[in-house]
Structure 1
Amino acid sequence: MTTTAATSPSPQASPPRRPASQLGRLTLRGVSRAYGAHTALHPLDLEITGGEFIALLGPSGCGKTTALNCLAGLLPLTAGEIELDGRRVDTLPPEKRGFGMVFQNYALFPHLTVRANVAFGLKMRGVAKAETERRVADVLNLVRLTEHAAKHPAQLSGGQQQRVAIARAIVTEPALVLMDEPLSNLDAALRLAMRGEIRRIHQDFGLTTVYVTHDQEEALSLADRLVVLHDGRVSQIGTPAELYEHPADPHVAAFMGYRNLLPLRASSVEGTTALAEGDGLRVVGTRAGNPAGTPVDGALSAGQQVLVAIRPEDLRVAAEGETAIGEAVAEIVEYHGRVLHVEAATDQGRRLHLKAHQPVRPGDRLHIAVDAERALVFPAEAVAS
């Protein structure tokens, strides 16, 4: 008699499960920080769910590192509170919050080996030797540094040192990992490679991460949600797609790659479409709106000053017979592989950045075009804010 084998999959056949996050929910309510009369961080409200990767994005001096240091406990709050899974933590010193931190300069101990650097936090917490060795081995394997465990930081590359810093931050199994521009000291190729490593480690270890950067490409590639700051205030919070397609104001647009920011005047407005003119340009664009398609706050009417935002990749040399927004003379042409980056100027001196797929030489007079849905028109209120 033939028996039929059970069809249920064996445990070995099951896909590996992502570790559960150590954090349920982190809530910031009205978190702010002032230095005398200067407010570095205006009230910030943010709720972070366990497992999220949050990027704080903005230029130098926008308040992003201040926000991170307030979270870490390195700066006391001027106002507001921070709550972790229903428990206030803003009154606790940094070492009692249970957060891991990766600094811009790595802050490794040069006289300790990689293994000892990673084990340092566990030893300070009094973790048993056997447990410390097991956790250090697991984390070094995760960051792919097992074979370098006996080396000192000076014997490692920049990317390897960065991974040691990450390993040291996560070996204590923190509820939250804070990263302050961790890739800024690496060259371009290594930054690109380390972005993928950081995202992989975040996923494989079940981390909840808050990451500070001024690089929009870095933020877009890593984060689940972005918090864009300007002059200490939140400009917009949303997913990379939401901010990329629907920037709330010109500051966010600039960080999302809208390099052409053209101050023009609205000649006519009809529904979500506006015609803007000035500096030899005549642009039919779309009123800037939120993901639901409704325009951003601020009235927009004929005769009003506006700012038209266009990405270089959306501005092009007009095809024969295509309606152009104006003319410009190519001044700088850069070879970027299959596409040329062109910096051109109108006769009135307005500079334009565009991409060209056909040959362009400095001195060429170009007719420029853009699709209406790719030219965002912001009202005067947004421009002035």
Structure 2
Amino acid sequence: MTAAATRRPGTPAGRPGRFETLRLDGVSRSFGGHEALADLDLTIRRGEFIALLGPSGCGKSTALNCLAGLLPLTRGSIWQDEARLDVLPPERRGFGMVFQNYALFPHLSVRRNIAFGLQMRKVPRAELRRRVDEALRLVHLQEQAGKLPGQLSGGQQQRVAIARAVVLEPSLVLMDEPLSNLDAKLRLEMRTEIRRLHQSLGLTTVYVTHDQEEALSLADRLVVLRAGRVQQIGPPEQLHAEPANWHVADFMGYRNLLPLTAGPRRGAGIVVEIEGHELVGTPVGDPAPGSAVMAAVRPEDLIIGPGLPATVEVVEYQGREVAVEARTAGGIALSLLSADRPAVGDRIAVTVEPRRLLVFPS
């Protein structure tokens, strides 16, 4: 099928227009027989902020590169409304991309870096100047316009990279772990900037990250990947409170993952036993009594009080609360947060509300 045959009527060949939906149908990519991405089905609505989330090697950057046209598909297709995109080269998809390493030209000024893509598209000089000035204003870099990238901080360089992408007025902005090289304070500041630009410019954004806090704060919907396959898609609130399986729970902050055996049902709950101590949890899926399960609970949901005995091994001050690592007599490690400050070596007991302990089939 030729590019001309797949182009939507009225859309210029060199620059696909704004879209209502961008659809990935069974998008797959293999490397030497290994499937790095398998059967990704995703529909992105205009104006959405989508975060691809997962550990290293899960397929999130592969998915982004397939969208960008930097990797050909092994299987599947990509559609912008009724126009097929995966047959088009990267420069004809009309997307902007922000890379992890910024990829700025070191010998060009901030202004010339931002203008580069417009020059390649032969945008008239007056229009180019107007759009670059507006991009500089949006990312608060008017005073740095004449500087070289090497004279800027990491956060300023990242803002240049974002401005260079959005100045093209792309139908989609692709961001590949853009904040991973910044320190903690700058990451927080840039998260706010990215969300502000997304909203103020009406962008559609696909954002790759391994940081669940970053994804929760930025995205309208999350796509959690593991070993190249989608585990769950949904709004942040849903994935945070209702992970579909223990792999998603692990990535959404349920640091205590306990391989146990399911006991009997108790009302809507299910009993699990840890070293002779019973806890009641909320079943996810349908774990059968006597089957292997994974019990998951967040550190902030473990409560110091009558319950499972443990010994404090590590205490970390974190401002209003402390992070505590404790271990049971049978060697199970537990992570919890507490407003109290136990000492290393203290004997404590912990428990959890049934709705905060999720029990997954293992």
* Equivalent pair of 1:23/1:176 in contact (CA under 8 Å): no
2:123 is matched with which residue: 123, 127, 150? Answer: 127
1:278-293 equivalences under 5 Å are 278-288=274-284
2:193 corresponds to which letter in structure 1?
E
The alignment status of 1:302 with 2:289, answered yes or no, reads yes
TM-superposed deviation, 1:301: 2.1
Corresponding position of 2:67: 71
Q: What SS does the aligned partner of 1:179 have? A: strand
1:69-218 equivalences under 5 Å are 69-218=65-214
Q: Which runs of 5 or more structure 2 residues have no equivalent in the other structure?
A: 1-16
Corresponding position of 1:5: none
Q: What SS does the aligned partner of 1:212 have? A: strand
CA distance in structure 2 between the aligned counterparts of 1:149 and 1:250, rounded to whole angstroms: 48
* Equivalent pair of 1:280/1:327 in contact (CA under 8 Å): no
Q: CA offsets per residue over residues 165-185 of structure 1, 9 Å max, x none?
A: 000001010000000000000
CA distance in structure 1 between the aligned counterparts of 2:179 and 2:302, rounded to whole angstroms: 31
Corresponding position of 1:368: 350
Q: When the two structures are superposed, what TM-score results if normalisation uses the length of structure 2?
A: 0.94
1:80 corresponds to which letter in structure 2?
G
* Equivalent pair of 1:279/1:350 in contact (CA under 8 Å): no
2:107 corresponds to which letter in structure 1?
H
Q: Which runs of 5 or more structure 1 residues have no equivalent in the other structure?
A: 1-20, 289-295
The alignment status of 1:261 with 2:257, answered yes or no, reads yes
Q: CA offsets per residue over residues 111-141 of structure 1, 9 Å max, x none?
A: 0000000000000001001000000001110
Q: What SS does the aligned partner of 1:201 have? A: helix
Corresponding position of 1:55: 51
Q: When the two structures are superposed, what TM-score results if normalisation uses the length of structure 1?
A: 0.88
The alignment status of 1:333 with 2:333, answered yes or no, reads no
CA distance in structure 2 between the aligned counterparts of 1:282 and 1:262, rounded to whole angstroms: 13
CA distance in structure 2 between the aligned counterparts of 1:279 and 1:333, rounded to whole angstroms: 24
CA distance in structure 2 between the aligned counterparts of 1:281 and 1:58, rounded to whole angstroms: 34
TM-superposed deviation, 1:51: 0.5
* Equivalent pair of 1:180/1:213 in contact (CA under 8 Å): yes
- Which protein is bigger by CA-based radius of gyration? 1
Q: CA offsets per residue over residues 144-195 of structure 1, 9 Å max, x none?
A: 1111111110111100000000000010100000000000000011101110
TM-superposed deviation, 1:265: 1.1
Change beyond 3 A, Cα 1:281–1:69: farther
CA distance in structure 2 between the aligned counterparts of 1:66 and 1:248, rounded to whole angstroms: 23
Q: What SS does the aligned partner of 1:362 have? A: coil
CA distance in structure 2 between the aligned counterparts of 1:107 and 1:24, rounded to whole angstroms: 30
Q: What SS does the aligned partner of 1:243 have? A: helix
Identity of aligned residues (%): 62
CA distance in structure 2 between the aligned counterparts of 1:356 and 1:212, rounded to whole angstroms: 32
* Equivalent pair of 1:280/1:347 in contact (CA under 8 Å): no
1:314 corresponds to which letter in structure 2?
D
* Equivalent pair of 1:26/1:47 in contact (CA under 8 Å): yes
Number of equivalences: 346
| Structure 1 moving runs of 4+ over 4 Å | none
CA distance in structure 1 between the aligned counterparts of 2:122 and 2:188, rounded to whole angstroms: 37
The alignment status of 1:312 with 2:326, answered yes or no, reads no
TM-superposed deviation, 1:272: 3.0
1:256 corresponds to which letter in structure 2?
M
Corresponding position of 1:14: none
Q: CA offsets per residue over residues 282-307 of structure 1, 9 Å max, x none?
A: 2211112xxxxxxx3xx322211111
CA distance in structure 2 between the aligned counterparts of 1:180 and 1:35, rounded to whole angstroms: 20
Corresponding position of 1:355: 337
2:327 is matched with which residue: 318, 322, 345? Answer: 345
CA distance in structure 2 between the aligned counterparts of 1:81 and 1:201, rounded to whole angstroms: 29
